[in-house]
Structure 1
Amino acid sequence: MLPIQNLGGVAQLLRFALALNSGPPWRVDAPSQPLTCLVIDSAPGSYHHADAQRVLTYSFTGFKKFVGLAVAALIYMGLHTRSTVTGRPMPHEFIRDGLSNTQILPWTDTSTPRLYLYSDADRTSLPSDVKAHIEPVKRSGLNVREEFFIGTEHVQHSREYPERYWNAIRSIWDDRIRSKL
């Protein structure tokens, strides 16, 4: 089971996947394929310019907020320039496309369950952005489940609703085990 929290966790998973795929080709035969499921908590968000500014300056007020907005704008402009010049995707595109990949890791495929945990009160990974990611992933045939929480902030679902949170994870893991028996 791969528990992934927020965009930072998704980015780390995708960087790990790139590292695995940069060496000799991996081949994992079906009988030895490890049981895996992805538990994605509070991700992905869109992280367009306005979203990045909102997230990066969330806790700032007054002059600090103004400076934070300027820094966020500079960072975003730098990333956009790099993307335009080098052809590398913007971070939000890298994350969105990476999570949509059927074989994120050499041992994952279309049958690998993905559980998305998200909330209406998350101001970092907006529920509309998570849903906008989930729908095409479902349509592409990937094994997707979602658990939508009411009133929980970013990555706080397990604290507010521990039983429901862990039951959703237990359910997807139990189903994964049964599917391989």
Structure 2
Amino acid sequence: MANAVAAPNPYGFGFVELSPTVLYRAPPDKIKSSGAFITKEPSLILLTSWMNASPRHVARYTTGYQRLFPSSRVVLVTTSALHFLVQSTNQRIKDLEPALDILKNIQPEVRILLHAFSNGGVIAAWLLATTYRARTGQALPISKAIFDSAPGSQGYTASLAAFAVGLPKNPIARGVGSGLLRIVLGVWFCYIYFTAKETIVDTVRKALNDPDLFPTHAIRLYVYSSADEIIRWQDVEAHASEAQAKDYRVQKVKYLDSGHTAHLLHDENRYWSAVTGLWDSEYLSSPGSIVVAW
């Protein structure tokens, strides 16, 4: 990281690219207080973005965290459709090496906040956790976790909607891309059906509640919406219930009309209040309760 040179970055001020999918931001030398009543800021914030997320949209979260926790380091992991369609797991892990190196060198007193978005983000978090476990024998060293619009289940319609986010805006190119995407996903789901194989989303869904990968002491917050057309709110709440049954401490913030990974846009103050509430206290209100956000 010492050789990286800071430059203007679409993901936010101060980010440097460590690999094709990992970016890093160190806190500035001079830090202005956020004004929030936070007992102790996270030492490190690990963000794993949703698939095909535009830098402009991700920057809303990175700049928000910069205002809220100005002294925190930030590791950002991005994901794209290519990672799932053509990239091998070994290559994906190679791209994640800078993030893994940072996690491997974390000291015991360091407090880490994981913030994963959509299925793409939780898959990235899972790959980090499984690789970290294989190398260290330990669960991912996180203190708190936020699952935004995740996890869902993998179906054809939801997958098509998720992958379509990255298609070109040009109507002709988008039409061609959509047709090819439908064929590829159709073949894939036929293969899954006839071979009875478990999908990656189903694998990760179970793994998120595996204490060998994600420690039970890390209180987690689920943020989701009944209006999400990609991730069903029923799937999120079912996963939260499964987590509670395995001794994870859970909080849920349910929006009624915000879109997929768009809860921040719907009500920024409520969103960041939930984040600070998770970080600075044992519970937002009471174990397992649902805070409804209009």
TM-score class, shorter: 0.7 to 0.9
**Normalised by the size of structure 2, how large is the TM-score?**
0.49
Question: What's the counterpart of residue 100 of structure 1?
Answer: 209
Deviation at 1:56, TM superposition (A): 3.7
Q: Does 1:3 align with 2:115?
A: yes
Pairing 1:20–2:132 present = yes
1:52 Cα deviation after fit? 2.3
- Is residue 2:229 matched to residue 1:123? yes
**Aligned equivalents of 1:50 and 1:154: distance in 2?**
14
User: Identity over the aligned pairs, expressed in percent?
Assistant: 22
Give yes or no for the alignment of 1:72 onto 2:181: no
Q: Distance in 2 between matches of 1:35 and 1:91?
A: 23
* Residues matched between the structures, number: 165
Work out the CA distance in 1 between the residues paired with 2:136 and 2:120: 27
1:161, 1:132 → 2: CA distance? 25
Please give the residue correspondences for 1:26-105 in structure 2 after superposition, counting only pairs within 5 Å: 26=138, 36-57=143-164, 65-78=178-191, 84=197, 89-105=198-214
Aligned alpha-carbon RMSD (Å): 2.9
Contact 2:138/2:213 (<8 A) preserved: no
Q: 1:160 to 1:71 in 2, by over 3 A?
A: same
C-alpha distance in structure 2 between counterparts of 1:159 and 1:23, whole Å = 38
Instruction: Give the gaps of 5 or more residues in structure 2.
Output: 1-112, 284-294
Deviates more, 1:89-98 or 1:7-16: 89-98
Displacement, 1:137?
A: 1.4
1:113 and 2:225 matched: no
SS at match of 1:151: coil
Counterpart secondary structure, 1:100: coil
Which protein has the bigger helix share? 1
Q: Report if the CA contact (8 A) 2:226-2:233 is conserved.
A: yes
- 1:35 is displaced (CA, Å) by 6.3
Pick the structure with more strand per residue. 2
Q: How far, CA to CA, are the matches of 1:42 and 1:139 in structure 2?
A: 21
1:161 to 250, 262, 267: 267
Whether the aligned pair in 2 keeps the contact of 1:45 and 1:130 (CA below 8 Å) is yes
- Greater Cα offset, 146-155 or 43-52: 43-52
For the pair 1:133 / 2:239, whether they are aligned, the reply is yes
Are the counterparts in 1 of residues 143 and 217 from structure 2 also a CA contact under 8 Å? no
Q: Distance in 2 between matches of 1:27 and 1:53?
A: 32
Work out the CA distance in 2 between the residues paired with 1:9 and 1:128. Answer: 19
CA contact (8 A) 2:192 2:199 kept: yes
- Provide Cα deviations, 1:143-179, integer angstroms capped at 9, x if missing partner: 00000012111111111111111111111101159xx
What are the ranges of 5 or more consecutive residues in structure 1 without an aligned counterpart?
29-33
Secondary structure at the aligned position of 2:277 is classed as: helix
Q: Secondary structure at the match of 1:46?
A: coil
Runs of 4+ in 1 over 3 A off after TM superposition: 53-68, 77-84
TM-score scaled to structure 1, two decimals? 0.77
